[in-house]
Amino acid sequence: MDSKRALSVAVEAAMAAGNLMYRNWRTQKRVNSEAMHDIKLELDERCQEKICKILRSVFPKVAVLGEEGTVGDPLADERWVIDPIDGTVNFAYQIPHACVSIALQQRQGNEYVNCVGVVRDPFCDELWTAVRGKAARLNGKKIRVSQRARLSEAVVSVGFAKYDENLKKMLPQLEKLAPRVRKIRIMGSAALDLVYVACGRMDAYLESGVRLWDIAAGAVILESAGGEFWHRALPGEHTYHIVANNGLLRPELERLNQGESK
């Protein structure tokens, strides 16, 4: 697939879904389902429908693997991976920290490679983009990860995915990290955590139990900005443990967590 054209249509779809999010920022939202640490909104579905319609108007044969469902063969050689609203609980509570995440993946052997990534934050009017092998950009300007090489000067984000076992896994890591870093942040959007590391606002992001659609776009943006997207598959479909960082901090993070991220 022509990556320039793929990027262009992914940006169009992300902007359209972002506009729908923004228009509904302060509205009362219809909840489709809720759990102790999660909420599914009717708007998640509407945003995914909008994104799919735009993507498939240009690439009708490319499958879509989305948080709200799959279209086509998710094991095809090329697939879109989308999270129509990443940070759904924030958005449901009218906290303006959520985004649209769209990635294009291409199969290489048994693996899928993230080739194109778009993350759109409509609240800050920010658009992060990357095509593998080229520079990552924020609103069209090239971005790079930070050069902070010590945890003591690092801002580190920790994510708590929606199941209790992830809390149990991450809380001990949080307890070890907090006294050793400049600041901890728990922001609620994996995609924004990844692109904040990509543009140097943060220096690392850790989460266990995060899903593919939360991270695929942010991963290629982070790597294209010089960062490291360390990840390990966990039991459960499309589920990962990740240690994303500016390329300088993982050894210290691993020493701290005694190989948690192995």
Decide whether 59 or 99 has the Cβ nearer to ligand LIP.
99
Binding ligand LIP (rule: CB under 6 A), the pick from 190, 195, 199, 212 is 190
**103: contact with ligand LIP by CB under 6 A:** no
CB closer to ligand LIP out of 190 and 202: 190
- Comparison of 189 and 245: residue with beta carbon closer to ligand LIP: 189
Question: Quick check: 228 binds ligand LIP (CB under 6 A)?
Answer: no
Applying CB under 6 A, among 100, 161, 195, 212 the residue interacting with ligand LIP is 161
Residue type (1 letter), 143: I
Among 18, 66, 117, 159, binds ligand LIP (CB under 6 A): 159
Rounded CA separation 100/17 (Å): 7
> Is the CB of 87 or the CB of 247 nearer to ligand LIP?
87
Instruction: Please identify which residue in 86, 121, 203, 252 interacts with ligand LIP, judged by CB under 6 A.
Output: 86
> SS3 sequence, the chain?
CCHHHHHHHHHHHHHHHHHHHHHCCCCCCCEEEEECCEEEEHHHHHHHHHHHHHHHHHCCCCEEEECCEEECCCCCCEEEEEEEEECHHHHHCCCCCCEEEEEEEEEECCEEEEEEEEEEECCCCEEEEEECCCCCEECCEECCCCCCCCHHHCEEEEEECCCHHHHHHHHHHHHHHHHHCCEEECCCCHHHHHHHHHCCCCCEEEEEEEEHHHHHHHHHHHHHCCCEEEEEECCCCCEEEEEEECCCCHHHHHHHCCCCCC
- Which listed range, 19-27, 57-65, 81-89, 229-237, lies at the site for ligand LIP (CB under 6 A)? 81-89
Site for ligand LIP (CB under 6 A): which residue of 45, 68, 83, 121? 83
The answer to the question of residue 176 lying near ligand LIP (CB under 6 A) is no
Question: Is 86 or 203 the residue whose CB approaches ligand LIP more closely?
Answer: 86
User: Quick one: which segment of 23-31, 141-149, 207-215, 223-231 binds ligand LIP (CB under 6 A)?
Assistant: 207-215
Would you tell me which residues interact with ligand LIP (CB under 6 A)? Answer: 67, 83, 86-88, 159-162, 188-190, 207, 210, 214
